[in-house]
Amino acid sequence: VILDNGLVKVSLSNPRGDVSEVWYRGVQSLERRNHDKNRGMEGTGFRIVHQAPDLIEVAFSRSWNISRRGSIAPLNVEKRYIMQRGTSGFYAYAVVERLKGWPDTVMDQLRIVFKLDKDRFDYMAISEERQRVMPTQEDRDRGKRLAYPEAVLLTNTSNKALEGEVDDKYQYSLEHQDDRVHGWVSTRDRIGFWLVFPSYEFRTGGPTKQELTSHVGPTLLGMFGSTHYAGSDIDTTYRSSEAWKMVYGPVFIYLNSASTGSSPRVLYQDAQLKMKLEESKWPYGFVHSDDFPSWQQRGSVSGRLVIKDPFRYMKTMYGSGAHMGLAPPGAPGSWQRDGKNYQFWNKTNNHGSHTELGFLVFEPPRNGPTVWEIGVPDRSAAEFFVPEPEPTYINKLYKNLPKDWYRQYGLWERYSKLFPVTDVNFTIGVHDYSKDWYFAQVTR
């Protein structure tokens, strides 16, 4: 199946529904040397959902029944793709469903993945500050494996400027709230291949959930839900007693280009502009699925958050910069362990206004006034002491990015060297938590 709008041409395998080729400006961007097997959820049927002069939407589906028990996951899956006229890219989403009575199952990861042409795409960008030329998979294969398989010391690289660095995909993680567009650039062709998240309502775990992004391959990874950084605390078990359905996406796959000699950053900056445009159009009005509510079918909430804490403030304060979210009912904090439902989040402005619930008054639970505290209660731990890594285990990307030093490899081993005799000994009013309190609680 071929979708072609004159700007981008996408080939989809039928009936599996895999993206097998993406053509843009005469360049085919995907890796052709991958095996066809083990590419995730495979479709068994194809249909055209909607076709008009300016838009086409197609679907590849697979149904489950008891005769398939033990061979595939007990899910009904529909993978859908949308292409519009005049758009430099295409949309992808999935409708995943379980019926009541189906066998229990666990799904620790749900994601969309693109493997790009390793001979072309060599520059990765996940944020304005975090972008760089990357090693190849062959560079990793020749490297020295470190404490876990994902971490490799590069010892014999095709690009000698990368030799002696550590490569580790976990060093390129982002929180959902910050991961709105990331991708790769072919510096040879000056072409960018980007994954745009117009919303993170379908990404489980809330705005502060850390997730993988892109990494060596070149791999472009869009995580919808996983147990990364949390393990079994994230609820990814689906019981026979419960029916469940969720729409993951749509996400937008964007391709762009720049003139010869221009910086790859130009392509990332353009992708950011495209992300903001896609974000402004959310929820999309062109999706032809009854399971995806358009903006006409959705409601909205607004109000003002104020904080009433007489032990800390003489008067009621506006909750500026606070995350406000709608998530399934549960115990306090349950939203960050929820791996199966939509969540809708926004941030308040300087006056605590939120997109009318009236005034929401937050009264922090207390037993009395604060006697002492170490650090800033913003869930980041960014204010604490983060050491420099061992010189032999660095990622040069973070050399001048102190706020991301904690991502460097092996910092857990630095603790016992910095505190060789006893653990941290901290005296309130004497010590400085930015220098004397280690950012992580680690074993010796």
Query: What tens digit of pLDDT does each residue of 112-146 get?
Result: 999 999 999 999 999 999 999 999 999 999 999 99
Q: Write down the pLDDT at residue 242.
A: 94
Q: Write down the pLDDT at residue 377.
A: 85
| Better-scored residue on pLDDT, 1 or 441 | 1
Low-confidence winner among 67-76, 311-320, 338-347 (lowest mean pLDDT): 311-320
Q: Write down the pLDDT at residue 365.
A: 81
In percent, the amount of the chain with pLDDT more than 70 equals: 97
Whole-number average pLDDT of the chain: 93
Indicate left, alpha or beta for 261 from its phi (over 0: left) and psi (-120 to 50: alpha).
left
Q: Write down the pLDDT at residue 21.
A: 97
| 231-276 residue pLDDT tens | 989 999 999 999 999 999 999 999 999 999 899 999 999 999 999 9
pLDDT exceeds cutoff 60 at 355: no
| 141-162 residue pLDDT tens | 999 999 999 999 999 999 999 9
| 319-331 residue pLDDT tens | 888 888 999 999 9
Mean pLDDT within 46-60: 98
Asked if the 2-280 domain carries CATH number 1.10.630.10, the reply is: no
Q: Write down the pLDDT at residue 357.
A: 62
In percent, the amount of the chain with pLDDT more than 90 equals: 76
SS (H, E, C) the chain: CEEECCCEEEEECCCCCCEEEEEECCEECECCCCCCCCCCCCCCEEEEEEEECCEEEEEEEECCCHHHCCCCCCCEEEEEEEEECCCCEEEEEEEEEECCCCCCEECCEEEEEEEECCCCCCEEECCCCCEEECCCHHHHHHCEECCCCCEEECCCCCCHHHCCEEEEHHHHCEECCCCCEEEEEECCCCEEEEEECCCCCCCCCCCCCEECCEECCCEEEEEEEECCCCHHHCECEECCCCCEEEEEEEEEEEEEECCCCCCHHHHHHHHHHHHHHHHHCCCCCCCCCCCCCCHHHCCCCCEEEEECCCCCCCCCEECCCCEEEECCCCCCCHHHHECCCCCEEEECCCCCEECCCCEEEECCCCCCCCCCCCCCCCCCCCCCECCCCCCCCECHHHCCCHHHHHHCCCHHHHHHHHCCCCCCCCCCCCCCHHHHCECCCCCC
| 172-210 residue pLDDT tens | 999 999 999 999 999 999 999 999 999 999 999 999 999
Q: Write down the pLDDT at residue 359.
A: 67
Residue with tokens 């500026």: 320
pTM, to two decimals: 0.92
How does residue 387 score in pLDDT terms, banded at 50, 70 and 90? very high
Mean pLDDT within 50-72: 93
Mean pLDDT within 11-36: 93
| 277-304 residue pLDDT tens | 999 999 999 999 999 998 889 888 888 8
Q: Write down the pLDDT at residue 313.
A: 77
Mean pLDDT within 22-50: 90
How does residue 354 score in pLDDT terms, banded at 50, 70 and 90? low
How does residue 35 score in pLDDT terms, banded at 50, 70 and 90? confident
For the chain, give every residue range classified as CATH 2.70.98.10.
2-280
pLDDT exceeds cutoff 80 at 358: no
